[in-house]
Structures are given as structure tokens and as C-alpha cells.
Structure 1
């Protein structure tokens, strides 16, 4: 059986269309696994990591089995306002997220676009960063691998921070893409 080049193009287009529909359906299914985007201090977090749903479910955090810890935080000497937000989220598979945002006094967009060394002197005065980790690898946002957090609730009185996020981060030559992220935390 021979197909003309026009017929082959139509078959190829049909296959690509079907594959894109399957991909879109899979992505939609992954999105359904994420927690709702709330603003009540529910201590939830979830995101799509390299196309797969990631939802905090507990693990080895500072207060196990709390899946999400964080909120308004001001333990660094330069922080007179105490309006910095630190969020940590964990899964039982030992993967997790960490965010640090400076001076979050109102809803808005906060860029993740500077290089921060969590293990060096910068930790005493970190810049905004996003991190995703798996056992043996810490993926960090940098000035080249960036992202953003959009704070939808910045309640400094009740100590609730909620929002959405997306970023690309790097570990050596490996990268990770995080999309459709959402969190809702109250102080730890």
C-alpha cells in the first residue's frame, strides 16, 4: 500500500493531534491531583514537577509529619519588619520544596531570580529563592534559572501567606521545571 506525500502529511498531522490531546488529558489529570488554591492557612502545597503532580504529604521535616511548614518569619538580623516568608514542604519519598521571599507585606509578584548559596555566608541574608530537592540533589533558582511567586494573600496579622508559583531550577547540568504550584501556609 502506497500513500501519497499529501496523505502521509495528513496522517502525520492526525497522529500529532492525537498525541497532543493525550498529553493535554494527562496534564489535566495531574492538575486534578493538586490541592485547591486556598487562602485560609490550610498548610498545603502542590505543583507539577517535570509534568507529574507533587503534593506535600509529610515526611522528614522539622515537625514531622507536618507536610508544610512556614509562613512569616524574621530570624535574620537585617529583618526588622519580620515580613519575610519561609516555606518548607515535604513528601514521604524525601522530596521537597523550600521558598524564601523577602519583605512580603502585600499581595503581588515576587521574582525568584538571584543565586543564593544555602550552605554559604549568604544564608545570613538570603535573597528570594526557590528550591526543589530529591535525595542527593538540590535544585535552586539562580540568576539564569528563574521563576516567580505570586502572593495572593499576605496577611501579616494572622500570619497567613498563600499564592501560586512556577520556576526552573538547576543542579549541576540537570534542570527541573515546576509549574502550576500553589501553597497556603500559616506560621510555624
Structure 2
């Protein structure tokens, strides 16, 4: 009977120590990986912000990280959404007349949205960078880091500063 009780307690202990790898830790930024894990995060005004892990799709509001050739320009859009609030997201856009590759870009446009506010870096402002550390078109993987400062477009002159941003995403062509 003692062995059965010990075995039962051991099983409960082992099962309770398992963790779900699909739920990101919201207390730390995700590791800077380069394998298409669909992770992302940043410090937003020095507060940790972690993106939801999800598969690529083109549904409205979805994880539509995509790379395409439109009007003789290569365009890349990286979308990161927060774990518990799909209206809370970071969107980064760049374009290049040459193929996009692993290098540092000035951002074409960046946006941070939460439930009540939208912060934007407009085209032509050099308030942000995107450093692509891996761009693998064969496996549709893009990884890198970013930072930017954006203005509130709701007219109240506030700004948001996003630093230590990182992502490791699968993208859609």
C-alpha cells in the first residue's frame, strides 16, 4: 500500500512539473532564436511584452507575417500579437527594390496598437530599425531584432519607446 501511495504521489509530482511549451512566459522576453518558432517580444516603455505563439495565416487580425513582391518592390510585414489580447500588437513594415536579406534596415513604417491607443512611425521618419539576422526563403523563416519610437496618432502628443524587440517567425509568400 505504501508503494502504491508513493508511486501515485510521484506521478502527480512529475505531471505537475510539466510545462506547456505553447504558452510563452510573460515575465521574460523570448530567446533570440532563428528556427521559425513563431515567437516575439519587446520592452514597451521598459515593460515586458510577449507575443502570442501562432501559426502563419492571412485571416484579418491573424498572424499575417508575409513577404511579397508588389509593384516592383519587395515588401515584408512582421506582425506580433500579445498573448491575451489580439488587439494589442506590433506591426513592422519594410520595403526594398532589391530582395530583402539579412541586414539592418531603417523601418518603412511601424505601429504599436493596444486597446485604446495607436502609436505610429510614419514613412520617412528614421525613428526605428529592423535587424534581420536570418532570412531563409526556402523554409520561410525570418528572425531578428527591432526598436522604434512612435507617436500617438490620437492627438495627445504621447510617445512609446520599443526596445530589445526580437522575433523568430514563419512567413507566408
TM-score, normalised via structure 1 length: 0.63
Matched, 1:78 2:59: no
Give distance in 2, aligned partners of 1:155 and 1:88.
17
Secondary structure of 2:65's aligned partner: strand
Distance in 1, matches of 2:33 and 2:106, equals 21
Q: CA RMSD in A?
A: 2.8
For 2:80 and 2:58, the matched residues in 1 are separated by 10
Structure-2 separation of matches of 1:187 and 1:165 = 17
- Distance in 1, Cα, partners of 2:170 & 2:76: 10
In proportion to residue count, which structure has more helix? 1
Map of 2:102 onto structure 1: 107
Q: Which structure 2 segments of 5+ residues have no match?
A: 1-25
Moved more, 139-148 or 157-166: 139-148
Q: How does 1:1-188 map to 2 (within 5 A)?
A: 33-57=28-52, 63=59, 68-74=63-69, 76-79=70-73, 83-91=74-82, 92-93=84-85, 94-103=87-96, 105-112=100-107, 128-142=108-122, 143-144=124-125, 146-171=127-152, 172=155, 173-188=157-172
CA distance in 1, matches of 2:53, 2:166: 16
C-alpha displacement of 1:65: 9.8
How many residues are matched?
138
Unaligned runs of 5+ in 1: 1-30, 113-127
Give the Å deviation of 1:78: 3.4
TM-score (norm 2): 0.68
